[in-house]
Amino acid sequence: MVSRQSSVGARRLRLTFAYGAFSRSLALSRGVAVALLGLLPFVAVLYLVATCYFVFHDDLLQTLTRHQVEMQYAYEDRIAALRNQLETASEQARADQTDFTAQVGALAARQDQVESRTALVAALAERIESVRPSDAKANESAAVPQSEAPIVAPSAPADGKPHPTGFDLQLRSGASGSSNPGGSTMSPIDFDTDLPFATRIRLLINRYDRVDRQDLAILADLQRPANLLVARIRTALAATGLSVDRLRASEPSQTRVGMGGPFVPLPILSDGSSFAAAANQAETAIATAERLRRVLPHVPLQIPLPGDPGISSEFGPRIDPFLGTPALHTGVDLVDGYGAPVRATAAGRVVNAGFDGGYGDMVEVDHGNGLSTRYAHLSSIDVVPGQSVSPGTVLGHIGATGRATGPHLHYEVRIDGQPVDPIRFMRAGAELVAAVDP
């Protein structure tokens, strides 16, 4: 039991604590009593806070823990997102590097392709000059305006590779170019270093595309003179009864330069591109023209006597001058002075040189491809069997040996052993002089 007594006079506060027989009194001064009373609210608040703390301690801990966990998860999610962004950026960088490497590799391959194509075009341009008809050259020169340059083959530098404009990886500003294989000058592209690399690559690819188009145009131009020459030869020889498809140039084995190796198709001629098709057409046309140019000296197209000799008897049926009955004249009789030189009408090899019955002293020359010529009634022979002769080589001199009524040359042309009219070959030769002579 607690009792409280106060004495106004003494201004003291007496507190008595009693419990059963036990009692205890405590006297407090007014100041102490006021202080204790003032502390009572704080004590009550502390008691309430302590009570709430102990009551809600677990909930607070759970809330704080949950908040910390949420913050941790949020940080981890952010870190994971940043890691994903970093990995994505790294993958993109690797992809960009791969794409860059692929673009540079493709550009290098394109450059090699353009160089190979231009080298082929240059080689074909050099070859076409040997078969271009003379009048075609004159006509082309007259038809080309002064502002345009003719087709010329690019000169090869020391490394043996052609380097026309745009064939170097000109990725720096101030790159310069030279003339292209077609003779026209391509202005160099100023590759500004401020341009993106992809833009500079695209500019180079566009330049290579222009070079490819120019090469296609040049190939088309190269075919024309070759086709013109082949057409003229076909037309001229058609009247002789000789097909140009059977003509093959023969080269003595002792004059051939040693070469060989396995056949490997040229990639730029077998890639299925339009350039490959055009190049194959040009190659076929030029090869055919070259073959005919090489074989023409072996076709008897010249006249065996100098000047314009007279004809005393043509090829074909006639009245035999000795028997007076119809007979076949297997050649043509050309008239000139006794002892006039008789020349080979084509290149070949002497197979007979001597007396041969009605032919008298006769020389026979095998020209290959089934062609042969005979020169009869000679007064003298200047060659021997097995000797190689060129067009214009003196074989002998006009005479009147054998069945001859006077000095003249009996001249024959044979195809596969059968006599044909030599006048046709002479006329064909006259028509081809302007086309074939350089």
> What is the rounded distance in angstroms from the CA atom of residue 30 to the CA atom of residue 8?
10
| Same domain flag for 322 and 432 | yes
Question: How far lies 126's CA from each of 88, 110, 342, in Å?
Answer: 56, 24, 37
| Same domain flag for 228 and 282 | yes
| Same domain flag for 270 and 134 | yes
Which of these three, 58, 89, 106, is where a domain ends? 106
Q: Is the dihedral of CA 304, 308, 311, 316 positive or negative?
A: positive
Residue 363 main-chain phi, psi, to 5 deg? -120, 130
The neighbouring-strand residues paired with 24 are 17
Which of these three, 53, 83, 106, is where a domain ends? 106
Summarize the confidence of residues 328-346 as an average pLDDT.
94
Question: How far lies 132's CA from each of 181, 273, 433, in Å?
Answer: 18, 27, 13
Residue at 197 is within a domain: yes
Q: In the block, which residue shows the tokens 């001199």?
A: 397
pLDDT digits (tens, 9 = 90+) for 14-38: 777 777 777 777 777 777 777 877 8
Which of these three, 54, 76, 106, is where a domain ends? 106
| Same domain flag for 92 and 173 | no
| Same domain flag for 118 and 94 | no
| Same domain flag for 70 and 119 | no
Asked if 198 contacts 256 with a C-beta cutoff of 8 angstroms, the reply is no
Q: How many separate domains does the chain show? A: 3
Sheet containing 394-398: order of strands: 341-343, 394-398, 378-381
Between residues 130 and 360, which one has the greater pLDDT? Answer: 360
pLDDT value at residue 234: 86
> What is the rounded distance in angstroms from the CA atom of residue 422 to the CA atom of residue 331?
7
Residue at 45 is within a domain: yes
Copy the structure tokens of residue 166: 């745009």
pLDDT value at residue 324: 85
Residue at 305 is within a domain: no
| Same domain flag for 97 and 190 | no
| Same domain flag for 269 and 353 | no
* Residue 321 C-alpha from the chain's centroid: 68
pLDDT value at residue 411: 96
Look up the domain containing 361 and give its range: 310-436
For every residue of 385-434, which 3-state class applies, written as one string? CCCEECCCCEEEEEECCCCCCCCEEEEEEEECCEEECHHHHHHHHHHHHH
- Percent of the chain with pLDDT strictly greater than 70: 76
Between the two ends of the chain, the Cα-to-Cα distance in Å is: 150
The neighbouring-strand residues paired with 214 are none
The enclosing domain of 330 has a CATH number of 2.70.70.10
Q: Reduced to 3 states, what is the DSSP secondary structure of residue 287?
A: helix
Asked if 412 contacts 359 with a C-beta cutoff of 8 angstroms, the reply is no
Percent composition of the chain: helix, strand, coil (DSSP 3-state, to 5): 45, 20, 35
Residue at 10 is within a domain: yes
Asked if 435 contacts 233 with a C-beta cutoff of 8 angstroms, the reply is yes
pLDDT value at residue 264: 66
Q: Is the dihedral of CA 342, 344, 349, 352 positive or negative?
A: negative
Asked if 180 contacts 216 with a C-beta cutoff of 8 angstroms, the reply is no
pLDDT digits (tens, 9 = 90+) for 120-172: 888 888 888 777 665 555 455 444 343 333 333 334 444 443 444 333 333 33
Q: Reduced to 3 states, what is the DSSP secondary structure of residue 152?
A: coil
Summarize the confidence of residues 414-421 as an average pLDDT.
93
Q: Of the given ranges (111-120, 151-160, 274-283, 288-297), which has the lowest mean pLDDT?
A: 151-160
| Same domain flag for 184 and 214 | yes
Q: In the block, which residue shows the tokens 């069945």?
A: 403
